[in-house]
Amino acid sequence: MKKNYKYLKNINFPSDIKKLSVDKLQELSNEVREEMISAVSETGGHLGAGLGVVELTVALHYIFDTPNDKLIWDVGHQTYPHKILTGRKEKIRTLRQGGGLSGFTKRSESEYDPFGAAHSSTSISSALGVAVANKINNKSNNVVAVIGDGAMSAGMAYEAMNNAGASKTKMIVILNDNDMSIAKPVGAMRAYLAKLFSGKIYFSLVETIKLIISAFSKRFSDKASKAEDFFRSAITGGTLFNSLGFYYIGPIDGHDLDVLLPVLENAKNSKHKGPIIIHLKTQKGKGYSYAEKSNDKYHGVSKFNIETGIQEKSKNSTPSYTKVFANTLIKHAEKDSKIVAITAAMPSGTGLDIFGEKFPKRMFDVGIAEQHAVTFAGGLATEGLKPYAAIYSTFLQRAYDQVVHDIAIQKLPVRFAIDRAGLVGADGPTHAGSFDITYLSTLPNFVVMAASDESELVRMINTSVYINDRPSAFRYPRGNGIGLELPSIDEKIEIGKGRLIQEGKKLAILSFGARLSHCLVAAENLKKKGINITIVDARFAKPLDQNLIFQLATDHEAIITIEEGSIGGFASHVSHFLTEKNLLDKGLKFRSMLLPDKFIDQDKPDLMYKIAGLDSNSIEEKVLDTLNSNIVLQKQK
Catalytic residue set: 284, 370, 398
Q: Which residues contact 515 (CB under 8 A, 6 or more apart)?
A: 452, 562, 563, 564, 614, 619
Pairing between β-strand 363-365 and β-strand 45-46 as defined by DSSP bridges: unpaired
- The C-alpha atoms of residue 219 and residue 195 are separated, in whole angstroms, by 31
Q: Which residue from 601, 483, 607, 503 is spatially nearest to 548, judged by alpha carbons?
A: 503
Question: Taking the alpha carbons of 526, 528, 531, 535 in that order, is the dihedral positive or negative?
Answer: positive
CB-based burial of residue 108 (10 Å sphere; 0-12 exposed, 13-18 middle, 19+ buried)?
exposed
- 501, with CB counted inside 10 A (0-12, 13-18, 19+), is middle
SS3 for 262-306, per residue?
A: HHHHHHHHCCCCCCEEEEEECCCCCCCHHHHHCCCCCCEECCECC
The DSSP result for 515-554, as a single string, is: THHHHHHHHHHHHHTT---EEEE--EEES--HHHHHHHHH
Q: Specify the length of the chain in residues.
A: 637
Decide the pairing of beta strands 247-253 and 172-177.
Answer: unpaired
Strand, coil or helix: 454: helix
For residues 490 and 334, give the distance between their C-alpha atoms in angstroms, rounded to a whole number: 14
Q: How do 45-46 and 300-301 pair as beta strands?
A: antiparallel
Question: Got the DSSP string for 190-245?
Answer: HHHHHHHHHSHHHHHHHHHHHHHHHTS-HHHHHHHHHHHHHHHHHHH--HHHHHTT
CB 619 within 8 A of CB 593: yes
| Cα 624 to Cα 635: distance, rounded to the nearest angstrom | 13
Q: How far is CA 92 from the centre of its chain?
A: 21
Kindly report the CA angle at 211 between 275 and 203, in degrees rounded to 5? 40
Interacting residues of 501 by C-beta distance below 8 A, sequence separation 6+: 516, 520, 535, 536, 537
CA dihedral 355, 361, 363, 366 (to 10 degrees): 150
SS (H, E, C) 8-63: HHHCCCHHHHCCCCHHHHHHHHHHHHHHHHHHHHHHCEECHHHHCCHHHHHHHHHH
Are 252 and 259 in contact by the 8 Å Cβ rule? The answer is yes
